[in-house]
Amino acid sequence: MAQSTGNSLSIITWNTCGVKPTKGLPNKLIDIMNFGKKQKADVIFLQETHIGPRGYNEINEVRGWNSYFTVYSPRSKGVAILVNKNIPHYQYICHDEDYAGGYIVLFCQMYGQLFTLVNVYNHKEDKQVLGRLSQYFQDMITGILVIGGDFNTVLDPDFDRISASEHRQHTALRPHLEEFISSRKLVDIWASLHPKEQAFTRSQNTSHSRLDMFFMQQDKAPCAQSCEIHTVPGISDHYPVSLKIHVPEIRSMLTDVHQRLRMLGDSKLKYKTKLDRRAGRISGAEVLVAMKSLTDSSNGSREEDLMETETLKHEYNEILRKKKIPAGFNMSLNRKYKIFATILANRLQIYLAPSFRGRSKTPPQSLPYKVFLARKPSISWEFLKKALKSVGIIQSPPRDFTILKQVLPEDLGILWKLLPMDQCPLTPALLHLCLKYLEHRVQKTGTVLSVSRQRLSLLIHMEQEKQRSVFKLLSEIRKESGLSLKVTF
């Protein structure tokens, strides 16, 4: 049971399917906020805000509320956290936004207690959003952790869903959510407070599901006083969920690092750009994962890691905004450069993930040829640019990889001479990119082929009448790319 002394914090989570005015809801955001006021909410989590780089003014200027939100697309995803300005002694520390619009993390102090507030939209096509959060949590949680949002799946199908048929989306996303809450020792608050009840947050035709949830860590779950699902028709196909938390009177003092983090959000900071609302900005989670992947990663405290993560995040986003690398940054090959290069490599690898298909049917009269890609090639920038355009990278942020031209030396061969292959974070990603582009070009000849990413090779099954055109194509690729391609029979 929660202690009797202290304050209560009220939080609402709601997938509103957009916040902009519609024909049927000309005052949609006002209606949403009026519900929050009626419930005396201190904090509101919104999912599917559909905020793009040019349409954020309304959510940014909600009277009486501090707004923190992701910028992604005017048609999909997006999350926001709104904090009532009347909360006593509210102190903003810092926040982190997912580059793909899947979550936002707010570090703050309310009623004298430190909080980590996390708003999640677990999109059905983005099975990595909880993974991106997981390692970040391991190193960065401060104070009381509250996670809320639309998870697009149910935890217990027998209790949380009624439907005539199993839904593949639920089946695909559930293991990721189960792993996430298990690894972080999280408690489903509504289920723990209503173990014998059945209720739903979304209904569609004959299907009813409880997709919208709040989670807290096991040791803090007893602070949850109530959790309710509210029937609010007309605004969204989801219902809002409210959570009331008991906040103990024990005060958590802001450390020196917390104070410096607050300064990092100050408009006077040289990396701070208030109008920087581009989609695909580098997140603190990306910086942290890159930092931890390096052999020379720091062994600092959690607060020091958070400070370094936030500092580098601001610096890297300023580099991307200006599309200009600071003097001496390119080839200094220091830790800061490696972290930045690792982030770019990690993003690139997402789009180069192999598709696990069955074996292609080999033409009966074909002969197998193997094409091996040299592991330390010289690659022309123009070839890389064509390769980037060919692999469908434009589907999701980051939309512009021209910064690679400045991160990498003009003659890429220099990079591999200066660094062993396993020390250059971009090497595997660039080699995989070239391999994928080779596959793309050769497939246009109608030839059956398979790719080995580990061997950096193509196995091409060529019919005799196609051999001449394929060899001619490989010769052209050699000349335009600078790649060393070895063909064996």
Residue list, annotated binding site for Mg(2+): 15, 48, 150, 152, 237-238
Q: Do residues 383 and 482 touch, judged by C-beta distance below 8 A?
A: yes
Sort residue 465 into left (φ over 0), alpha (ψ -120 to 50) or beta.
alpha
Q: Which two tokens stand for residue 96?
A: 């982190």
Output the CA angle 406-317-121, nearest 5 degrees.
Answer: 125
Neighbour order of strands in the sheet with 202-204: 161-162, 207-209, 202-204
Q: Is 150 a catalytic residue?
A: yes
Q: Which of 72, 121, 369, 437 is catalytic?
A: 121
Rg (CA), the chain: 25
Question: Do 120 and 148 meet the contact criterion of CB atoms below 8 Å apart?
Answer: yes
238 carries an active-site annotation: yes
Tokens 């090639």 correspond to what residue? Answer: 377
Annotated binding site: 15, 48, 150, 152, 237-238
Among residues 227, 239, 122, 220, which one has the least CA distance to residue 180?
122
The β-bridge relationship of strands 207-209 and 202-204 is: antiparallel
Alpha-carbon span 400 to 280, nearest angstrom: 9
In DSSP terms, which residues pair with 108 in a beta bridge?
Answer: 92, 115
Would you call 121 a catalytic residue per the annotation? yes
- Which position among 98, 126, 150, 212 bears the catalytic label? 150
Instruction: Tell me the longest C-alpha to C-alpha distance in the chain.
Output: 84
User: In Å, what is the CA distance from 45 to each residue of 186, 248, 249?
Assistant: 18, 22, 25
Q: Which of 50, 123, 176, 238 is catalytic?
A: 238
Q: How open is the CA angle 40-43-49, to the nearest 5 degrees?
A: 115
Active site residues: 121, 150, 238
